Amino acid sequence: MRQRVAEELGRMLDHDDRLVVMLAAISTALFEAARARHPQRVVNVGIREQSLIGVAAGLAHVGLRPVVHTFAPFLLERPFEQLKMDLCHQGLGAVLVSIGASYDFPEYGTSHFCPEDVALLDALPGVEVHVPGHPDEAVGLLPGLAAATGVGYLRLSEASNATAVTMSAGRLRVLRQGSQGSVIAVGPMLDPVLKAVSDLDVTVMYAITVRPLDEATILESLAEPAVAVVEPYLAGTSAGLVSHALAHLPHRVLGVGVGRRDLHRYGGRLEHDLAHGLDPASLRSTISRFLRPSR
């Protein structure tokens, strides 16, 4: 996903002279060719993540569109006040493109994990959040992000669904209609969710743009007011918004995602999926219990 996005950004630099790629010592090799063609518009600030966001704000200040890229914790958590003050409060925009997701590189440990990212961005006003589940979907989001003026977040992952889904911008897509409840699968959670609910009578919706969340489609496809939202980041991040969509009805909402506990574990991504109950078998059991709660 990262490689495809880097290649596409390189091509976009050729045609859009407002675009500037900002790096902080991460993924620099992937942008080497683009940098050779556009030495002024591929800027590596080194390991200076506060400056990374501040400089991006300055670029936006003169009317350029910065695309800012590094590992999620160093893009969002270390310079969080810069996101709040230099971008949001100033009314300046940027495209923030992260890698690493919740635990894509488990061998690096917790410092490189960022299951908090979407929850943190929820604390800021007006940030668009996109969680593609396939490289084609990630690349397809780039023109819209480049053309926008606000703050947009593109969460890239090493995890990917087997095939891309054709989406209309900003909308959820209903993949299956069922009668016992709804499951919203976000980005790379789609394949595990489809496996998990293959024999369950549920509606399945797919989301890659989660902020703003397409509440209308949740309502329109609702057969039974029980909605589970399965996200590849902190469990419950979108539960409040789903509940907001159903506020006029008695309803049940379940947030499924990454747990808050620091596991102090390395290993592989699938082992972390298992540890957080995000493998198909665990998801099947969690969703089944939610649909038929014991009284």
Partner 1 sequence: MTSKFDHAAQVPAPGAVRPAAYEDLDGLLDLLSGDEKHSSASTSTVDLLWVLYDRVLRVRPENLDDPDRDRFVLSKGHGPAAYYAVLAAKGFISPSVLPEFSAFASPLGHHPDRLLIPGVEISSGSLGHGLAIAVGIAVGLRIQGRREPRVVCLLGDGELEEGSNHEALWLATLLELSALTVIVVDNRSSDLGWPTGVGAPFAAAGWMVERVDGHNRGELERALRRRSETTPNLVIAATGTAL
Residues engaged in binding partner 1 (CB under 8 A) = 20, 40-41, 43, 45-46, 48, 50-51, 53-64, 81-82, 85-86, 89-91, 93, 149-150
CB of 35 to partner 1, least distance (A): 13
Of the pair 85, 165, the CB lying nearest partner 1 is at 85
CB of 36 to partner 1, least distance (A): 16
The set of residues, in sequence order, having a beta carbon less than 8 Å from that of 121 and lying 6+ positions away, is 76, 83, 127, 129, 153, 211
Count of other CB atoms within 10 angstroms of residue 276: 20
CA distances from 219 to 225, 239, 244, 288 (A): 9, 14, 11, 21
Of the pair 109, 170, the CB lying nearest partner 1 is at 170
* Beta strands 65-71; 226-234: pairing state: unpaired
CB of 74 to partner 1, least distance (A): 13
**Token output for 12:** 């976009």
Query: Using CA atoms, how far apart are residues 276 and 64, in angstroms rounded to an integer?
Result: 41
DSSP 160: -
Residue 136 DSSP SS3: helix
CB of 143 to partner 1, least distance (A): 20
Query: Using CA atoms, how far apart are residues 221 and 177, in angstroms rounded to an integer?
Result: 7
Query: Using CA atoms, how far apart are residues 103 and 188, in angstroms rounded to an integer?
Result: 13
Of the pair 93, 140, the CB lying nearest partner 1 is at 93
CB of 81 to partner 1, least distance (A): 6
Of the pair 89, 260, the CB lying nearest partner 1 is at 89
Of the pair 21, 227, the CB lying nearest partner 1 is at 21
Query: Using CA atoms, how far apart are residues 210 and 173, in angstroms rounded to an integer?
Result: 12
Of the pair 43, 159, the CB lying nearest partner 1 is at 43
Residue 179 phi, psi dihedral angles, 5° rounding:
-125, -10
CB of 62 to partner 1, least distance (A): 4
Of the pair 43, 291, the CB lying nearest partner 1 is at 43
Closest alpha carbon to 67 in 126, 122, 8: 8
CB of 237 to partner 1, least distance (A): 25
